[in-house]
Amino acid sequence: MTTTRKVTSLDVAKRAGVSRSAVSRVFTPGASVSERTASKVREAANALGYRPNVLARAMLTGKSKIIGLVVAYLDNHFYPTVLELLSEALEREGYHVLVFMAAHSADDVEDVVSQILDYQVDGLILASVSLSSDLADRCRASGVPVVLFNRKLEAEGELAVVSDNRMGGRLAAEHLISLGRTRIGHIAGWEGASTQRDREAGFMEGLRAAGLGLFAREVGDYRLPRAKEAARRMFDTPDRPDAVFVANDYMAFGVMDVLRSELGLRVPDDVALIGFDDVPSAAWPAYSLTTIRQHAEAMVTTAVEALLSEIGGTEVTSPAPLPVTLIRRGSA
Amino acid sequence: MTTTRKVTSLDVAKRAGVSRSAVSRVFTPGASVSERTASKVREAANALGYRPNVLARAMLTGKSKIIGLVVAYLDNHFYPTVLELLSEALEREGYHVLVFMAAHSADDVEDVVSQILDYQVDGLILASVSLSSDLADRCRASGVPVVLFNRKLEAEGELAVVSDNRMGGRLAAEHLISLGRTRIGHIAGWEGASTQRDREAGFMEGLRAAGLGLFAREVGDYRLPRAKEAARRMFDTPDRPDAVFVANDYMAFGVMDVLRSELGLRVPDDVALIGFDDVPSAAWPAYSLTTIRQHAEAMVTTAVEALLSEIGGTEVTSPAPLPVTLIRRGSA
DNA sequence: TCCCTCACTGCATGCGTTTGCACGAGACTG
DNA sequence: CAGTCTCGTGCAAACGCATGCAGTGAGGGA
């Protein structure tokens, strides 16, 4: 209950017998302070439990040391993973992550943007696939560096960190073909997403290269219920595919559930199944999902690097798509 | 590239032909402004794209409108769910969530606390089971309201929001018993956690009430690999339990994997399995995990309510443990 | 010895707000 | 009509810090 009163740089200064400026300089890397006063100040600061107020500093310098992260649904385990990695990477650089849920406010971009800008974030990471590109533009227009994560914009030079989704799609196709499957279907994610377009493009490319076409196609919108409906439409018929590429793992789980539990089909015997992302649970034996791995750590590292140097003032260009790898498991 | 320069309240004031105070008051709910000037100001603000700088306001009022969330691993799907709910609930109240990963910095509490306090968060939610109670104390000592989420401290009057873990444990026991199982094991979470203690206590209570004792017990520490090892130790023997209560769903998935994939046991025929939490994937047919549901929404609502009123200045006492419910599925 | 350099330090100002206080003008009351 | 209230407004002082500028002293070269 001893509500310690806020201790300011002035308190420290008094105790150390110096000026506020001195105290400030001690806590500002690269400032000019003698070792003697520095130690006096540090001692006083420790005794008083002083730490510079980030907010006050932020006002003055314009740097808040906080990065906004806009994200939609966290159900897809890929994103919690990313969030965790991202937060750790940024903490290592002295930043922290402020979360903005885009789920319901998706329509009124206006509002989200405002909220974000209000907080004077130093940078922004957009990991929400479904968010209008306006958001990026508006923020960038206000001078806030933005990096798109796991999505890109056709438009202009938006900074974007993505995997090589096209190659991933191609790998998926090649793998299914190498298994001897010929009646190959695709359950797509949200068609507005660049990830979806690229994955499917690569996939089609792979099929064509083997002289095959798409046997069936449904849309799952990256949502679990939709994906399951899509699976029912695609497989609850005698004339069904013998393999399917699902645009991400999250949907793939739902598809596999429908296949095995509702339709009594065997995976991979009756139908081979391949996903995308390699979320942790893909490796769980109950699913043992063959998938295209996105290297989350690499993506995060790249994104942080890009964002930070952009914040640092150096104009940076979108890095090359990051490599993906086929992970062979039981489902294909 | 038109780097819009920062527009301040002064700009708006000039344009509207009023003083800074006036525009400030327009944006401060409950301040005294005439409708006439208010509309003038609003118009000017819109034209200029002005929004009050949260940080500046924070300095003055001491309220930053940001809530710190300390969380450890996001692998356990319970926490992403909570994070999402929490963020949404807080956004509704005009707050935002700043994430602090406690994973690796768990030992140097000192550091985490400092970081948190640096940001002048208005409140703190500790959802990390494994975090030293020092953290709560230190923050509270600095005048930052703290609420423990899904954990409680024996110590003193720390504000804590928890489910009725004891009842949950008891329900688990009763359910397994009602199935006619008699050789009942328990795979515990991290023993330092109050959740673990309470769940196990309730579970034992339930067993005793039926004249049973614990057939086997292992510790999984709420970690997947440990849980799987625990499962191997417990079940890779002829003299194995015919039912097991796993302290949370996350571990239960691992246990089920070991049972079915490694040891070739059938669930629930050979061994009935019950978890705790009811994370979304527990409902997935591949696991169809019988479990004790924690009502995440209710917990979040309660936590937010408590935290906000504490921030509002009203001393509040820990709410009663929230009810849990048995969700019957295929695994038991 | 004198002057220049250089490493430190303090002063004062500013960052963008909010808010107590005082003041002016109507609106009432009696 | 004088006195009192109320409402709206502007002024100026914070909030806690960083930083340009000028000043201090010590050290070093001539």
State percent of chain A over pLDDT 70.
94
Q: List beta partners, residue B295.
A: none
**Given the DSSP bridges, would you call strands A146-149 and A123-126 parallel, antiparallel or unpaired?**
parallel
Give pLDDT, residue A117. Answer: 86
What's the DSSP call for residue B285?
A: T
Give pLDDT, residue A106. Answer: 52
Structure confidence by residue, pLDDT tens digits, B127-163: 976 666 677 777 887 788 999 999 887 666 789 999 9
Alpha helix segments (H runs only) across B126-285: 133-141, 165-178, 194-209, 224-235, 249-257
Give pLDDT, residue B132. Answer: 62
What's the DSSP call for residue A325?
A: E
Pick A75's closest partner by Cβ from B66, B75, B280: B280
Give pLDDT, residue B140. Answer: 80
- In strand C, the nucleotides that come within 7 Å of a protein beta carbon are 7-12, 14-20
Q: Which CATH superfamily is domain B9-52 in?
A: lambda repressor-like DNA-binding domains (1.10.260.40)
Give pLDDT, residue A155. Answer: 67
Structure tokens at B89: 């609930």
Place of tokens 């008094």: A14
The answer to whether the beta carbons of residues B290 and B331 sit under 8 Å apart is: yes
Structure confidence by residue, pLDDT tens digits, B78-103: 999 999 999 999 999 999 999 998 86
Give pLDDT, residue A2. Answer: 43
- The per-type count for chain A, helices as H runs and strands as E runs, is 12, 11
Q: Is the pLDDT of residue A240 over 60?
A: yes
Which of A151-155, B15-19, B162-166 bottoms out in mean pLDDT, i.e. has the lowest?
A151-155
Question: What's the pLDDT band for A72 if we cut at 50, 70, 90?
Answer: confident
Size (chain A), residues: 332
Structure tokens at B262: 């490694």
Interatomic separation, CA of residue A34 and C1' of nucleotide C1, rounded (Å): 29
Give pLDDT, residue B1. Answer: 39
Give pLDDT, residue B91. Answer: 92
Chain A residue with minimal CA distance to B68? Answer: A98
Alpha helix segments (H runs only) across A186-290: 194-209, 224-235, 249-257
Indicate the class that CATH gives domain A61-163+296-321: alpha beta
Q: List beta partners, residue B123.
A: B67
Using the Cβ of A34 and the Cβ atoms of chain B, whether some distance falls under 8 Å is answered with no
B102 to chain A, closest Cα gap in Å? 9
Give pLDDT, residue B153. Answer: 79
Give pLDDT, residue B112. Answer: 79
What's the DSSP call for residue A184?
A: E
SS3 of residue A150 by DSSP = coil
Q: Is the pLDDT of residue A5 over 70?
A: no
Whole-prediction pTM? 0.92
The angle, 0 to 180 degrees and rounded to 10, between the axes of the packed helices A296-311 and A78-92 is 40
Exposure class string for A67-81: b at 16+ Cβ within 10 A, else e: bbbbbbbbbbbbbbb
- Lookup: nucleotide whose C1' is closest to A61 CA: D18
Residues of B in contact with A93 (CB under 8 A): none
Residues of A in contact with B4 (CB under 8 A): 141-143
Q: Give CA–CA dist A188/A165, Å, rounded.
A: 13
Q: Is the pLDDT of residue A14 over 60?
A: yes
Q: Give CA–CA dist A78/B179, Å, rounded.
A: 37
Q: Average pLDDT for residues A314-330, to the nearest whole number?
A: 95
Q: Which residues fall inside 7 Å of strand C, measured at CB?
A: A 17-22, 25, 32-38, 56, 59-60; B 6, 8-10, 20-21, 24-25, 27-28, 31, 50-53, 56-57, 59-61
Q: Average pLDDT for residues B66-81, to the nearest whole number?
A: 93
B256 to chain A, closest Cα gap in Å? 9
Q: Give CA–CA dist A83/A114, Å, rounded.
A: 22
State percent of chain B over pLDDT 90.
78
Structure tokens at A267: 């995976």
Question: What's the pLDDT band for A114 if we cut at 50, 70, 90?
Answer: confident
Sequence spans of domains, chain A: 9-52, 61-163+296-321, 165-294
Which of A88-102, B78-92, B150-164, B181-195 bottoms out in mean pLDDT, i.e. has the lowest?
B150-164
Q: Average pLDDT for residues B296-308, to the nearest whole number?
A: 97
Interatomic separation, CA of residue B33 and C1' of nucleotide C27, rounded (Å): 18
Interatomic separation, CA of residue A10 and C1' of nucleotide D24, rounded (Å): 22
Candidates 3.40.190.10, 3.40.50.720, 3.40.50.2300, 3.30.930.10; correct CATH number of B61-162+296-320?
3.40.50.2300
Interatomic separation, CA of residue B32 and C1' of nucleotide D3, rounded (Å): 25
Whether the domain at A9-52 and the domain at A61-163+296-321 fall into the same CATH topology: no
Q: Give CA–CA dist B26/B42, Å, rounded.
A: 8
Which of A112-116, B107-111, B225-229 reaches the highest mean pLDDT? Answer: B225-229
- Cis upstream peptide for B268 (omega within 30°): yes
Q: Give CA–CA dist A258/A233, Å, rounded.
A: 11
Other beta carbons less than 10 A from residue B310's beta carbon: 19
Q: Give CA–CA dist A23/A12, Å, rounded.
A: 7
Using the Cβ of A256 and the Cβ atoms of chain B, whether some distance falls under 8 Å is answered with yes
The verdict on a CB contact (< 8 Å) between A3 and B280 is: no
Question: What's the pLDDT band for B107 if we cut at 50, 70, 90?
Answer: low
A308 to chain B, closest Cα gap in Å? 18
Q: Is the CB of A62 under 7 A from strand D?
A: no
Nearest 5 degrees, angle CA B265-CA A250-CA A259? Answer: 55
Which of A100-109, A112-121, A179-188, B43-52 bottoms out in mean pLDDT, i.e. has the lowest?
A100-109
Question: What's the pLDDT band for B29 if we cut at 50, 70, 90?
Answer: confident
Nearest 5 degrees, angle CA A28-CA B144-CA B76? Answer: 95
Structure tokens at B303: 């936590």
Using the Cβ of B78 and the Cβ atoms of chain A, whether some distance falls under 8 Å is answered with no
State percent of chain B over pLDDT 70.
94
Nearest 5 degrees, angle CA A70-CA A74-CA A78? Answer: 95
**Given the DSSP bridges, would you call strands A66-71 and A96-101 parallel, antiparallel or unpaired?**
parallel
Decide: residue B124, CB within 10 A, 0-12 exposed, 13-18 middle, 19+ buried. buried
Structure tokens at B315: 């001393």
Decide: residue B239, CB within 10 A, 0-12 exposed, 13-18 middle, 19+ buried. exposed
Mean pLDDT of chain B: 91
The angle, 0 to 180 degrees and rounded to 10, between the axes of the packed helices B296-311 and B78-92 is 40
- Lookup: nucleotide whose C1' is closest to A21 CA: C10
- Cis upstream peptide for A321 (omega within 30°): no
Candidates 3.30.565.10, 3.40.50.300, 3.30.365.10, 3.40.50.2300; correct CATH number of B165-294?
3.40.50.2300
SS3 of residue A287 by DSSP = coil
Give pLDDT, residue B6. Answer: 81
The angle, 0 to 180 degrees and rounded to 10, between the axes of the packed helices A249-257 and A224-235 is 50
Of residues A297, A302, A290, A323, the one with CA closest to residue A168: A323
Q: Is the CB of B143 under 7 A from strand D?
A: no
Pick A118's closest partner by Cβ from B54, B91, B281: B54
Give pLDDT, residue B204. Answer: 98
Residue A219 backbone phi and psi in degrees, to 5: -115, 130
**Given the DSSP bridges, would you call strands B96-101 and B66-71 parallel, antiparallel or unpaired?**
parallel
HEC string of B163-199?
Answer: ECHHHHHHHHHHHHHHCCCCCEEEEECCCCCHHHHHH
> Distances in Å between the alpha carbon of A199 and those of A90, A172, A188, A243?
29, 9, 9, 16
Place of tokens 């094991």: B185
Give pLDDT, residue A157. Answer: 72
> Distances in Å between the alpha carbon of B75 and those of A248, A275, A301, B4, B282?
18, 20, 19, 41, 14
Interatomic separation, CA of residue B68 and C1' of nucleotide C20, rounded (Å): 32
Give pLDDT, residue B178. Answer: 97
